[in-house]
Structure 1
Amino acid sequence: MGARRREAVAWDQVLRYAMPQIDALHHRQFEEAVRDLLRRDGCPRAVQVGGAGDNGADVKATDPFGRLWVIQCKHRAAGLAGSAVGTPDLHVLNGTGRPVHNGDIVVLVTNGRFTDKAVAFARSQRLHLVKTPPARPLSRGSHSSVGAPGHGSLPPRPPAPGRPGGHRRRPAASGTRPAPDPWTGAAQ
């Protein structure tokens, strides 16, 4: 086994979190854990940028397909028993994730839960919701408790050519319904 492979295996073994460990983290450590998971999963230049004046982004990363991920982290000390993440946090992320940070994929990660209104809003705005830092790769779209948009799976592949971020809408022909986007399944 080569040195790079040994390092990758070691990194994967270190970056496994049980929920009690996640819940015990300080909010800054939670952001760092999300950053480290992204690094582990193929985004070597993921950076923790959260803090005063972060404009709704705690972690930024570019995946192997060249997509910019903008991630807001909401840590709840009480985990699932804590307060749910609601629409106000998503309003901030939605207002800055793409326009300010130029994100292709905009995500809110929490160790807690989301309100039903937050899930509906996320779905309507193409925001992705992750309930816990997944054990499986975050940047490859292969984990379970995620929203795409809302709840589902994150985008596993890049958008079609000429469609940066996979979210450019095509005008529908008069009297017809737009075809679903092949990448997200959302109406265009």
Structure 2
Amino acid sequence: MTVPQRSLRRGGRRRAFDLRATALFFALLAILLVAGAYTARAALDAAERRPAWTAVLCLSGTAAAVLAVRRRRRGHLAQRTAHRAAAALREGTRTALDALETPPERAPAVVVPAQAGPGGRSAPLAEDTVVLAEPAVDYDLLDPDEFEQAVAALCERDGCTGVEVAGGAGDLGADVLAVAPDGRRVVVQCKRYCATNRVGSEDLQRFGGTCYTVHEADVALFVTTSDFTAPAVEYAAQCGIVCVDGEDLRAWSDGAAPPPWTAVTPAPPPARPSP
């Protein structure tokens, strides 16, 4: 008995040419071309008849296209902004964690001159005393009134009492009056001069004529931001006036030198009459 064999279809075989389908395709293409041409002709006729409506339609279409593009860009911009915000948040969190893990730096200790006690000696500070450093004063930048106030503050800092700024018209050479810790009366003349303007003997003579006779000074101080001439220093030595130049003033202010009234030895008390 013979078994009939089924014919197998080859996969690579081409389809047979279909005349009906080809004709239908070209017919549809022709219809589309004719319809497109008719639509274009109608649009041109409408544009010639009503140009305003045509412009409105064109602008509306353009606006719709622009809005669509902007919406798409906004979506990309929002996504990009979200990514940047997330990255900034991660960086801020990392910085905060690093700051929490890093131990705080200790502030360096600041050494300041101690307050002077009786006799110009530095008084000891208690163990639990917190000493705050005062900013350094640039005396060259002060005006004359501020300079007198600064010198008075130095006297009060180093233990003087009854400190008074008496400078001004009619002060008769006494800008600062004070009482030293040992009870002596201190009279100060202040001259805020520039570095090139040195204090001459005339200034010292005017001060020497009133500090003892008028103000009854036990210690006479002449303080300046500049320097003294040689005749001025010689006259001050003869009259017992303590000259404090700019360098001495900075040393006194920084605590590197004792108060200037300690340079004058207190006069011994008068001897008691023998019985």
User: How high is the TM-score relative to the length of structure 1?
Assistant: 0.67
Paired residue for 2:144?
A: 27
Match of 1:49 among 166, 173, 178: 166
Secondary structure of the 1:103 match is coil
Three-state SS of the structure 2 residue aligned to 1:106 is strand
Shift, 1:72, TM fit: 0.3
* 2:156 pairs with one of 20, 39, 47: 39
CA distance in 1, matches of 2:146, 2:228: 21
Q: Does 1:154 align with 2:263?
A: yes
Deviation of residue 46 (structure 1)?
1.3
Aligned equivalents of 2:222, 2:135: Cα separation in 1:
20
TM-score (norm 2): 0.47
- Corresponding position: 1:123 with 2:123: no
**1:113: how far off?**
0.7
1: CA distance between counterparts of 2:250 and 2:164? 18
The RMSD of aligned alpha carbons is: 2.7
Look up the equivalent residue of 1:161 and give its one-letter code. P
State the partner residue of 1:107: 221
Task: Name stretches of at least 5 consecutive residues in structure 1 with no aligned partner.
Answer: 164-188
- 1:64 counterpart SS class: coil
SS at match of 1:45: strand
Residue 97 of structure 1: aligned partner: 211
Instruction: Give the aligned partner of residue 14 of structure 1.
Output: 134
Take 1:97 and 1:55, find their aligned partners in 2: how far apart are those partners? 8
Matched residues in 2 for 1:136 and 1:91: separation?
25
CA distance in 2, matches of 1:120, 1:36: 29
Contact 1:16 1:135 in 2 (8 A): no
> Which residue is equivalent to 1:136?
252
Paired residue total:
142
Percentage identity across aligned positions?
35
Residues 12-54 of structure 1, C-alpha deviation per residue, up to 9 Å, x if partnerless?
A: x32643xxx1101001101000000000000132111100000
Displacement, 1:90?
A: 0.8
Q: In the aligned structure 2, how far is the partner of 1:16 from the partner of 1:162?
A: 42
Higher helix content, 1 or 2: 2
Q: Distance in 2 between matches of 1:158 and 1:15?
A: 33
Moved over 4 A (4+): none
> Distance in 2 between the 1:16 and 1:160 partners?
37
Change (3 A) 1:94 1:48: same
Taking the aligned partners of 1:15 and 1:85, their CA distance within structure 2 comes to 28
Letter in 1 for 2:252: R
> Distance between the aligned counterparts of 1:56 and 1:137, measured in 2?
23
Q: Are the counterparts in 2 of residues 85 and 118 from structure 1 also a CA contact under 8 Å?
A: yes
| Partner SS for 2:198 | coil
| Alpha-carbon displacement from aligned partner over 1:143-165 (angstroms, at most 9, x marks no partner) | 6xx6x9xxxx722x5321129xx
Name 2:31's counterpart in structure 1: none
User: Gapped runs of 5+ residues in structure 2?
Assistant: 1-124
